[in-house]
Structure 1
Amino acid sequence: MIRATTEQDWEILREIRMASLLDAPTAFGTTYAAAAANTEAQWRERAAGRGPGRFVLAFADRAAVGLAGAVVNAAGEFGLIAMWVRPEYRGAGVAANLVESIKQNAIDRGYSRVALDVAVENKRATAFYKKLGFEFLPVWEALESHPQITVQKMEWIAQGGAGLALA
């Protein structure tokens, strides 16, 4: 089951987010230390979707086994963030369901495009996103949490949607 978080899910969101940062510390734009410094009020705000991000959780046997987030950045771009699945659930369709949920959220909110950043060296992730219809763009930047890591932008475009116009 995939569902959006509510304020009451703040502890679940915090626990799975912290687990993701421990499991894959160089895959995200934030660090474990930064996330650990968040207050209960900040986690409640995040879970309730009152900040810039919205999160969905994947559940199996009533336990959270994955999460994904969506955020609209300052440029108005709908982005997939914080994508992670517990290792024992990888390859079972959980990740694909999370990404499809984010794509549907984008469409429901009037966006025809979803962007994400991924380290090209992360072959498993890049193959996964390509399988779900994402394509690389010629846009690279340093990962905010680990500037020595370069990430490349990928995008998915809904049928009939318009992609990013690059100069």
Structure 2
Amino acid sequence: MSIESSPVLVRAATEEDWQTLKAILLAALLDSPAAFGLNYATAAAYSEQQWRDCASERTQPQYLLAIEQGRAVGLIGDAINRSHEYNLIAMWVAPNCRGMGIGDRLVAAIQARAIGRGHRRVVLKVSPDNTNAVGLYRRHGFVFLPEWEALSGQPAITLQKMEWKNGR
């Protein structure tokens, strides 16, 4: 059965999902190390309790998983930063599942969560050179802001801030 004809469930990770979150986040870090502020070696060294905390809603970021036939095929996170902005972070879809609408479902889920939690704006940071990600975010109404910064832990990569406002 292909992913196109099977249901993909997008849901919040729970502490019981810690092994699933670990597997998909480590896969994401191996596949797209320049897209994350976290590196593989650091994440791989997390203890079981650290992974349980990452999967729970006790800590930030909070992750959503895209589950297809019992396995995680994508993830996305959200967090509130020090400026009280609602941030979309850690967006990733498994390479063999790209182009099937999973990224769209993940981004839409974060937008719905933001609205449900009383936020009218979501921000993210992305490399403008990551044209696939930029295209995905633009389809969902995100626009670039004139704000730039280096990727944490990888200062050679410059990120630009994008925002989405409810009602656009």
| Alignment TM-score, normalising by the size of structure 1 | 0.93
Question: Which residue of the partner structure matches residue 93 of structure 1?
Answer: 101
User: Does the residue aligned with 1:147 lie in a helix, a strand or coil?
Assistant: strand
User: Does the residue aligned with 1:8 lie in a helix, a strand or coil?
Assistant: helix
User: Does the residue aligned with 2:35 lie in a helix, a strand or coil?
Assistant: coil
Q: Distance in 1 between matches of 2:61 and 2:136?
A: 23
Question: Which residue of the partner structure matches residue 136 of structure 1?
Answer: 144
Q: Distance in 2 between matches of 1:121 and 1:17?
A: 22
C-alpha displacement of 1:58: 0.3
Amino acid at match of 2:86: F
Root-mean-square deviation (CA), in Å? Answer: 0.9
C-alpha displacement of 1:60: 1.1
Question: Which residue of the partner structure matches residue 5 of structure 2?
Answer: none
What percent identity do the matched residue pairs reach? Answer: 48
Asked whether the 8 Å contact 1:10–1:47 carries over to 2, the reply is yes
Question: Which residue of the partner structure matches residue 82 of structure 1?
Answer: 90
Question: Which residue of the partner structure matches residue 56 of structure 2?
Answer: 48
Amino acid at match of 1:118: V
The Cα offsets for residues 23-65 of structure 1, whole Å up to 9 and x where unpaired, read as 0011111110111121111110111121121110001111110
Q: Distance in 2 between matches of 1:10 and 1:145?
A: 24
Q: Distance in 1 between matches of 2:21 and 2:141?
A: 27
Q: Distance in 1 between matches of 2:116 and 2:51?
A: 25
The Cα offsets for residues 63-87 of structure 1, whole Å up to 9 and x where unpaired, read as 1100000000111111001100001
Question: Gaps spanning 5+ residues in structure 2: where?
Answer: 1-8
Question: Which residue of the partner structure matches residue 113 of structure 1?
Answer: 121
C-alpha displacement of 1:22: 0.2
Q: Distance in 2 between matches of 1:138 and 1:118?
A: 12
Asked whether the 8 Å contact 1:118–1:126 carries over to 2, the reply is yes
Aligned pairs, how many? 160
The Cα offsets for residues 67-121 of structure 1, whole Å up to 9 and x where unpaired, read as 0000001111110011000011101010000111111111111111110000011
User: Does the residue aligned with 1:103 lie in a helix, a strand or coil?
Assistant: helix
Question: Gaps spanning 5+ residues in structure 1: where?
Answer: 161-167
Runs of 4+ with deviation above 4 angstroms: none
- Given the alignment, which residue of 21, 24, 27 partners 1:16? 24
Question: Which residue of the partner structure matches residue 163 of structure 1?
Answer: none
Question: Which residue of the partner structure matches residue 152 of structure 1?
Answer: 160
C-alpha displacement of 1:127: 1.3
Amino acid at match of 1:63: R
| Alignment TM-score, normalising by the size of structure 2 | 0.93
Q: Distance in 1 between matches of 2:116 and 2:153?
A: 30
Asked whether the 8 Å contact 1:26–1:145 carries over to 2, the reply is no
